[in-house]
Chain A
């Protein structure tokens, strides 16, 4: 098997009837289901304990208008769905049908793909659900489906298990169950204990398990801890405040999400010191911010050495334990030597709106080529690191790339 591109970040949109059909009978009426919003006639997810439905957002769909060459058509389709909300008919069938997905991937010149869940939408409800038993059952239904999805073509799909936020024991048991079923990686929606804000010492049991089984841990931007505030005070005021905040920071905070905070907390509490082989991946976090982040962090540690309890510098842990997935990131590509050529992975975020489908591969290559990357660097970033981390067997390319 030879690859030319492996996406480290792709998404599903969960099938509308996934939970209605598959939850245990006692939960079936209480789990996630699709409703039509009154005003925009779009589709939204709702389940027990959720007062506000989660509409399918702009990001869940894609339209056949390449960003770069046909922005007008992109803007047109956004305008359409602004007036009438997004419906399942609008999203690509490959979002929920693995066989269709293969066709879409082939058109995008993507050989394989790491699959993540559908971002906020249904997950708001599952994470916020006050009934932990119901919440856990929802995670399990999704993960069973992920196994099925991956089995359609395990050389093409590396599906993430979404780990429950209902407690450390549930999290670890579900990790074990998913790995036994053949999943090769996991995505977190909270710290392993279920805490949405801070790491806890008991999380070590989970990290130890991941290290021992060599299971990479993914953290995807924007849907890690989004509900933290909602959990503590799900009032109308809090929601309005959050919306206001999002409005004023549009285009600013969205790129790095909370990943840098999580990395700082894990590093400073010694998780990477205790688990040197743990693989921690930030998906869709991009990379252009990394060089300054690391430069300043190291400098602050050198200057405040007495306050730093770890034997290594922050950058030494990050260089060893952390990977960054970007979609399109010109400054990241130009700064690759200060991030690490082998710490960056290409992930076009298909089928979400930041993807350039069906030109993701071409754009991905072009960004790297323009930055002067060599063929072996391009291979490294476009697929090889991803294949290594997720243990996809491949034949070494016969070209100059052996050195990489």
Chain B
């Protein structure tokens, strides 16, 4: 596997082949202003979202009945950490102020270098695709998603071992989702996709109507991410501002997936719960199991393995990204240390760009070196089978955790 193109910046070295030291499992791009102009078939262009001036900045106009989607405020600074107090920008960001690293792959590598990051898993801008989810025109929805998937594939081709782009799962129909997943895996060569809503329109996971999509996922090994929330009416934009750390909404979709026997049907499916940390999950797993053990007869559980707890399924099939979350590092033995992946959240307000290496070092400080390497790079490299890690995880590593008693 060839290492990506050399970046022509003085003093910037190419990452030594296959030696990943720090990989962000969750970072974002900003869709370039001309993405739909360039990537959408002509017949859809007239109805595509347009980036226009809005309240002194820029916003995507997606449809008449959908609020304009302003660019995330920190796309100008790369981080809330560098915004200063008070915030340097009150109104929407202008596209001309957006860091070029967010839409230009050559610039992106420089931004990675500045941040001491070897590779990033790249997510789209949640607000834009939340708006697209709400469109009524299914043909348009599908075309927009395909345009994005083609664009991110081109973007990542610039440095395929450093730019790990995720496709988007279309929500126009189960068939569309199935076909696009197949195309993304075999033609575009992407390693994973983001699921913003269940393609069948189901409110929770595990609905058999979605099975044709999951069959492709199961077969191709695509890694599926849920970013913050899932559902047609759900905002997948990470919460900014002041607030305590809580269990994210997406768990409400995941638990029924487990209960319905979904993971018995699709044993290879691997889900990433992105941009939501993992410290909350110690409590979630413990109490899910406790209610399962004590009150399972009150709900409908359809599980093939009678001796498995809900948490066994979750630990087996779910990965967490974490950022400001030393709690999950401290409790890694309970969560399963192979399932935790550090993330930078660049360029959102909780990232520390361009000082993420220091943040990553600090938050994982208590883990011994071998474990820490995995938290910072090894786990994400194995999950996405990055160059040098094509063999993925060892089965024993995946099962490594200290179980609770569950009184």
Contact = CB atoms under 8 A, between A and B. Distances in A.
A67 to B, nearest CB: 6
Interface residues of A, number: 57
Interface string B232-270: 000000001111111100011001100000000000000
A307 interface: yes
Contact of B245 (A68, A251, A296): A296
Interface string A351-386: 001101000000100110010000000000000000
A207 to B, nearest CB: 21
16 contacts: A68-B407, A75-B297, A251-B292, A251-B295, A254-B291, A291-B327, A292-B282, A293-B246, A295-B245, A295-B326, A297-B244, A306-B86, A330-B406, A331-B282, A331-B334, A356-B407
A299 interface: yes
Given A79-B297, A289-B283, A303-B81, A252 B247 contact: yes
Contacts of B241: 300, 304, 307
Contacts, number: 150
Contact of B242 (A250, A268, A295, A366): A268
A250 B294 contact: no
Contacts of B404: 330-331
Given A331-B334, A338-B327, A306 B242 contact: no
Interface of A: 58, 67-68, 71, 74-75, 78-79, 82, 248-256, 260, 263-264, 268, 286, 288-289, 291-297, 299-301, 303-308, 314, 328-332, 334-335, 338, 353-354, 356, 363, 366-367, 370
A303 B244 contact: no
Nearest to B79: A303
Contacts of B81: 303
A306 B80 CA distance: 12
Nearest to B350: A303
Interface residues of B, number: 51
A294 B290 CA distance: 24
A151 B27 CA distance: 62
Interface string B127-153: 000000000000000000000000000
B44 interface: no
B324 interface: yes
A297 B80 contact: no
Q: Which of A288, A354, A363 has the most chain B CB atoms inside 10 A of its CB?
A: A288
Contact of B85 (A250, A255, A268, A305): A305
Given A252-B247, A330-B404, A367-B407, A296 B286 contact: no
A236 to B, nearest CB: 20
Contact of B255 (A252, A255, A291): A252
User: Most chain-B CB neighbours within 10 Å: which of A263, A304, A370?
Assistant: A304
Given A255-B283, A260-B246, A297-B244, 14 more contacts: A67-B407, A78-B297, A249-B252, A251-B288, A256-B283, A289-B246, A289-B247, A294-B244, A297-B242, A304-B242, A306-B85, A335-B330, A338-B330, A367-B407
